[in-house]
Structures are given as structure tokens and as C-alpha cells.
Amino acid sequence: MAAVRIDGKAMAEEIKQQLIKEVEELKAKGVTPHMALILVGDAEDSALYVRSKAKNCEAVGGFAEVHHLPEDTTIDQLMALVDKLNRDDKVHGILVQLPLPHHLHQYEKQVMNAILPEKDVDAFHPVNIGNMVIGDKCYLGVTAYACIRILENLGIDFKGKHAVVVGWSIEIGKPVTVLLFEKGCAVTLVHPDSDFVPYTKQADIIVTEVGRPRAITGDMIKPGAIVIDTGSNFVDGKSIGDVDYDSAAQVAGYITPVPGGVGPMRIIMLIYNLVLAAKQKAGAC
Ligand code: GUN
């Protein structure tokens, strides 16, 4: 039997409606969630992502200010802007779109770490990552949280499930491993450059961050498994997942498509973090 296709767009829409209500309540108290987005340079895909984040912020009733800095911006200029936004009381969330232009690559960590943890809606700051590992209240990385919310929405019992995460990054693989463990799963984290097939074949839940198009095929999946594909590999201008959807859907129980699965959820979880930041500032949570 073919797998159930997980509709990330519909799930994101439901969360968006909830956020609209929360923003209305905040506005009634005189607080408008306010996100500052910084884009350095002219990379088209980054500009597209920033526009989409700003649009989603405004769609729930928030305010987005976009700072588009020129390609030749210096690290001092960028740090000065982050500092100014940190000190601006009306700004609840700050996002610096990555990657930075080539001459600023070496400073990415420095820039991320300069954003105040309470304004770090990406949840890239070591304080937020550390709090997530400890299990303390904090912002959760948007992609990792998107995966968890999708699984929660399916209504599955996490306890005792074997989850296999194929990926390693601090944005996806590592945090999703911790969050699945917190939920009660036995979790195996495997490197995408290793032989991950013996692991994926045993998994009840697979989360992929492989970075190669269609790297996981149906024969690598246990029948009935839940497959969450965070991949977005651009091939001929099209976004292709890490999972070969057609063969995997013959075997899996549930599967996220690319596009239309984790992607729409990622962006709404960013807005969720922004609204949380505004609520915290307003003393509403
Ligand atoms: N570039 C690609 N994805 C992201 C993201 O989630 N946050 C930021 N800041 N930059 C990105």
C-alpha cells in the first residue's frame, strides 16, 4: 500500500491560524511581534528566502524590517547593525540570512553568537542550543522543531520507537536527535557519508539531512516507517529531496514530499519563535 503523503502546507496553515490569534491578543496589549531580517549581498536564493520570511511574518500580523546590505559590507558594519538591533526594544527577533558573502564566511559564527539569545529566533546561539540539550525553556531550531511538530501531528506514540537521523548539522541532525530522544525514542544518529543503510532499514522513524538528491530509496526503508525528508537539493532549478519519493512511498507508512513537506513547516516555526519572543517580552508566557 502506498504511504500517506504528509501535507506540510496544511499543517503550517493550521499553526499560522493559531499564531494570527495570538498576535491579535498581543496587539490588544500594545505589542506587535517585530522581526529584523538582515540580508547581505545579492544572492537570489537568499533574497527569496528573506522575502518569504518577511511575508510570513506579516501574514500573521507581525512587522518585518528588512535590512539589505551591499555585497561589500564589512564585518564591523554588520556587527554594528546587529548591536543596534539588539539594543532596539521594539525588535523581538533578529535573523541574519546565511550564507554570508564569501569574504564574511569566516565570521558567520561570530555574527550568530552576537545576536542576543532572547532575540535569536533561528535558535543558532550556543545558549539556545545548550538550553535545548538541557531541556530548558528556549527557542528550538526551526527545522528540527518542524520535524517534531509533523510527527506530533501524526499522533504517533514516540515511546520505544527507533528513530534514525541521517545528518549531522547543528541546525537539523543534532537537535532533532535530542528532541526525538526527549520524546522517548531510541535514537541513532548516523553520518550521511557513512553506510547508513543498515540503520535506516531498522528505523520506525527516519529523518534525513543527507544533502544529496534521492539518496534514500525504498529498499533502504522498513515497511511502514515514517520518513521525514528535510532535504532541498537543487537540480536543474528544482528542489529535490534526500529521499527518492516514488520508491520510498511504496514502502513507507508516512512520507513528507519535497517540496510541500518540511519546508512550509520550517518557515512557520520561525514565526512561532518570533511570536514566542514577543510574548516573553510582553510577560505573556
Ligand atoms: N539560510 C538557509 N537556511 C537558513 C536559516 O534557517 N536561517 C538563516 N539565518 N539562514 C539560513
Range of the domain at 226: 140-264
Question: Known catalytic residue: 53?
Answer: yes
Q: How many CB atoms lie within 10 A of CB 283?
A: 8
Task: Say if ligand 1 is within 6 A of residue 95 CB.
Answer: yes
Atom 11 (ligand 1): residue with closest C-alpha?
Answer: 98
**Domain match, 111 and 213 both:** no
Q: Whose CA is nearest to atom 8 of ligand 1?
A: 97
**CATH number of the CATH domain containing 84:** 3.40.50.10860
List 120's β-bridge partners, or say none: 94
Helix (H, G, I), strand (E, B) or coil at 7: coil
282 found inside a domain: no
Query: Is any ligand 1 atom within 6 A of the Cβ of residue 104?
Result: no
Does the annotation mark 106 as catalytic? no
pLDDT in tens, the chain (285 residues): 799 999 999 999 999 999 999 999 999 999 999 999 999 999 999 999 999 999 999 999 999 999 999 999 999 999 999 999 999 999 999 999 999 999 999 999 999 999 999 999 999 999 999 999 999 988 999 999 999 999 999 999 999 999 999 999 999 999 999 999 999 999 999 999 999 999 999 999 999 999 999 999 999 999 999 999 999 999 998 999 999 999 999 999 999 999 999 999 999 999 999 999 999 988 877
Active site residue 97: yes
User: Is the residue at 133 inside a domain?
Assistant: no
Do 184 and 253 fall into the same domain? yes
Q: What CATH number should be reported for the domain holding residue 211?
A: 3.40.50.720
Query: CA-CA distance, 200 to 222, in Å (whole number)?
Result: 7
Residues 105 and 153 in one domain: no
- Amino acid letter, 243: V
Looking at the fold, whether 248 and 162 belong to one and the same domain comes out as: yes
Residue 282's pLDDT is 87
